[in-house]
Structure 1
Amino acid sequence: MSSHQQHGSFSPFKRIPADFSVSALIVGLIATMVSYAGPLLIVFQAAKAANMSDALLSSWIWAISIGSGLTAIVLSIRYRTPVITAWSTPGAVLLVTSLSVYPFSDAIGAYLFSAVIITLLGVSGLFSTIMRYVPPSITTAMLAGILLSFGVQVFVSLQELPALALPMIVCYLLAKRWMPRYAVVFSLLVGLIAAFLLNRFELGGIQVALVQPIFTLPTFSLDAIIGLGIPLCIVTMASQNAPGIGVLQADGYNTPASPLITTTGVASIVLAPFGAHGINLAAITAAICTGKEAHPDPSKRYIAGIACGAFYLVFSMFGATIASVFSAFPKELIAVIAGLALFASLSSSLASAMSDVSQRESALITFLVTISGISIAGIGAAFWGLVAGVIANLLLSGDVRKWVARKGNHP
């Protein structure tokens, strides 16, 4: 068990008020904002490509939001770890081109098939067994590769909208020196003020309405299962759950993978008839919540996971409306605050990845493959980065099995 996780005989709920912090609350909000400002827009694209009705789209957003919220809260409290869950972003990308090919009820059946397979992988412990073959330097190198583009976007935004980005960066650096715990919080406030003064909020398209979930009876076709269900399962496990576990490990949380995968799988099964294409572990937004920006004490960062889940639940009630709210924010604001919130995770991941001299080249290969953005068989670069790193490590040193044996002797 990780040193970050301390279990006593008392109820975990009793610790929440004492462990609460404003920084964890704000970091949880930022993680939610990043989810809605980016990955949710892919859901909109998929719905538009399939000519989906506004009612079905609203139900879909409600389902993935409430599923992410409930699982994040339950798992964060249960393991006192900032377990951040989300909907499958690569899965949504897959749906942009695939959803229109099948009847919607067949797509729901494919979602259920994918969710059942993912749940079985969690219950059986097979996923945990596979992850034990990946050395920590390689998982942290993969994480660094995932986060790199977010750090770069801070300075791309500086070129595109300096009047917004520069005050945010300067505020972050000054606060990092004098009040490091609230550096991201102050930077967000400065960004909101700057966006307001620059008249960069586009509020005209916002319409507020409560969601009405729609239940769709699933049907099952072999074509949809093969063409949609199996690829959805593969990309979710390889491009979301594997990096999600890597994020937790990179910040020292040795939370067992099986119950996390199982819980998100069960949530996906329950919510699939309402349109949820998959609930899984988050990577990018998780890194925002697992780092020092949430709280200096790692054992109190789970509050960020609870906060993120709570914001998901609040936003879920407004379905498609919430995306229009975040789309009203200037894209530079979202890019800068996400990048700044990930600075600590990016720097620690790079340092950790290169700390073991014997695995430095393997970690470098993982990092380079991950940032390359390659996609093979519909599976993203993060997974292929892991594969390349493990193979390189085996070829260079042949010590993968020895490392697994050492880990087995020292849980």
Structure 2
Amino acid sequence: MEHGDAQAIAVGGVTALVGFTSSVAVVIAGLGASGATPAQASSGIAALCLTVGVGTMLLAWRHRTPLTLAWSTPGAALLATQGAPSWPEAVAAFALTGVLILATGVWARLGRLVAAIPVSLAQAMLAGVLVPLCLAPVMELAAAPAVIAPVVILWLVLQRWAPRWSTPAAFALALAIIVALARSDLTGALTLPRLALASPSPTWAAVGLAVPLAVVTMASQNVPGVAVLKGAGYRVPWRGTMLVTGAATVAGAAAGGHAVNLAAITAALPASPEAHSDPRRRWIAAASAGAAYVLLAGAGATLVALADAGPEGLLPAVAGLALLPTLASSLAGAFHEAAGRTPAAATFAMAASGVAIGGIGAAFWALVVGLATRWWLGRRRQGREA
């Protein structure tokens, strides 16, 4: 094996490790809020790792491009705040999300329709969803400073010197604290997860969860993922990628996988010169990341068991820290244009309220309110010009 190929394999392993540890706390919170039992949550993590891993290896090998997939971290944050009336309805929402992603690859008109949703409204919806989660570090620090303060301090220090590793390191420290302060025996935590399949229950509430889940996945993961790879000199095969990620989401839905998409932040690693000096060989790093995700599928049950045994509020605090940069970028994107600030503010307020109407979560209604406000104010401006 050439030295460059070995380096690519190593970078791929780092990519998967950073992507997994930097957001798995958010996924655990999202699945739990959607009604998943510990067994179903560990099944969901395993399903996501397997579908992300296999999908990444398939795309990287097929297109010889460093295409890296990931689970939808903004989607998990949406679940953590919106939840679902029941786990079967959540499973139905996951499957419908996959169908919508598939449809954007098959039906170009639907893809254009999704793309027509103003970025400012999608970002405002995401920001509103993230606010309660990002308040968790503050709230938990006030409630249990001795437990939370070391995690927050470590995260802040590494944000300055090694930001890529700040959340993984905070997560590792949180796990160490859980082991030290566990409220129960942890001998049973070292176990392999089992895929726990659930029958979907399609309802209007499931549709109301699936639509914003698909929108936030497209706007906050797929579109930035394309931009990252384009900046590195690679073209993303949009149709093929949407077919693979949509099919992967549908395949993992019954086992608890909420959404699979293009990686955004971690996508830069396999596509960079750090992975390989030859741009044509960097796909090896992406394929290696996919293989690493398959191996990480075995860690789900242990992590869920540790989260259940540890001090209450510790992992939500880590999840909040992990999402702070996303909240900052979402707020910047939502209120960047002065003309669109009022619709964005209405969207943000509705999403942050957490109010469900007719059994449908606030994120869906936030998009409705934002689009309606934008349309109404647009007509007003047109009247003035006339």
Q: TM-score, normalised by structure 1?
A: 0.66
d(CA) in 2 for partners of 1:215, 1:196: 30
SS at match of 1:142: helix
Question: Do the aligned residues in 2 keep the contact of 1:85 with 1:281 (CA within 8 Å)?
Answer: yes
Question: Do the aligned residues in 2 keep the contact of 1:72 with 1:309 (CA within 8 Å)?
Answer: yes
In structure 2, the CA distance between the partners of 1:170 and 1:250, relative to structure 1 (3 Å rule), is farther
Q: What's the CA shift string for 1:80-106, capped at 9, x where partnerless? A: 56642369876983444769xxxxxxx
Which residue of 2 is the match for residue 67 of structure 1? 51
d(CA) in 2 for partners of 1:178, 1:327: 32
SS at match of 2:116: coil
Counterpart pick for 2:311 among 293, 317, 330: 330
Q: Which moved more, 1:143-152 or 1:305-314?
A: 305-314
In structure 2, the CA distance between the partners of 1:76 and 1:141, relative to structure 1 (3 Å rule), is farther
Deviation at residue 206 of structure 1 after TM alignment: 2.3
Matched, 1:134 2:92: no
Question: Do the aligned residues in 2 keep the contact of 1:148 with 1:371 (CA within 8 Å)?
Answer: yes
Question: Do the aligned residues in 1 keep the contact of 2:96 with 2:207 (CA within 8 Å)?
Answer: no
d(CA) in 1 for partners of 2:214, 2:267: 24
Which residue of 2 is the match for residue 166 of structure 1? 149
SS at match of 1:379: coil
d(CA) in 2 for partners of 1:256, 1:233: 30
Q: What's the CA shift string for 1:185-225, capped at 9, x where partnerless? A: 4434444455555x246443625444666899x9xxxxx8x
Q: What's the CA shift string for 1:331-368, capped at 9, x where partnerless? A: 43312222222222211221221110011111111111
Deviation at residue 313 of structure 1 after TM alignment: 2.8
d(CA) in 2 for partners of 1:113, 1:180: 35
Q: Which runs of 5+ in 2 are unaligned?
A: 228-235, 276-282, 382-386
Question: Do the aligned residues in 2 keep the contact of 1:365 with 1:388 (CA within 8 Å)?
Answer: yes
1:1-400 equivalence runs, <5 A: 16-17=8-9, 20=12, 22=14, 25-35=17-27, 37-41=28-32, 45=35, 63=47, 65-71=49-55, 74=58, 80=66, 83-85=69-71, 93-96=84-87, 119-120=102-103, 122-196=105-179, 199-200=181-182, 202-204=184-186, 206-210=188-192, 228-229=201-202, 231=204, 234-235=207-208, 237-248=210-221, 251=224, 253-254=226-227, 259-267=240-248, 270=251, 275-276=254-255, 279-281=258-260, 290-291=264-265, 313-317=294-298, 323-398=304-379
d(CA) in 2 for partners of 1:174, 1:125: 45
The number of residue pairs the alignment matches comes to 354
Q: TM-score, normalised by structure 2?
A: 0.69
Deviation at residue 244 of structure 1 after TM alignment: 0.8
In structure 2, the CA distance between the partners of 1:183 and 1:157, relative to structure 1 (3 Å rule), is same
Q: Which amino acid aligns with 1:356?
A: E
d(CA) in 2 for partners of 1:277, 1:128: 25
d(CA) in 2 for partners of 1:142, 1:125: 24
d(CA) in 2 for partners of 1:164, 1:201: 14
SS at match of 1:145: helix
d(CA) in 2 for partners of 1:290, 1:395: 34
Deviation at residue 171 of structure 1 after TM alignment: 2.5
d(CA) in 2 for partners of 1:183, 1:318: 20
Q: What's the CA shift string for 1:20-61, capped at 9, x where partnerless? A: 5857733432323432x3234357x4569xxxxx8x998777
In structure 2, the CA distance between the partners of 1:135 and 1:375, relative to structure 1 (3 Å rule), is same
d(CA) in 2 for partners of 1:252, 1:61: 22
d(CA) in 2 for partners of 1:260, 1:388: 31
Q: Which runs of 5+ in 1 are unaligned?
A: 1-12, 49-53, 100-106, 219-223, 401-411
Deviation at residue 70 of structure 1 after TM alignment: 3.0
Q: CA RMSD in A?
A: 4.8
SS at match of 1:84: strand
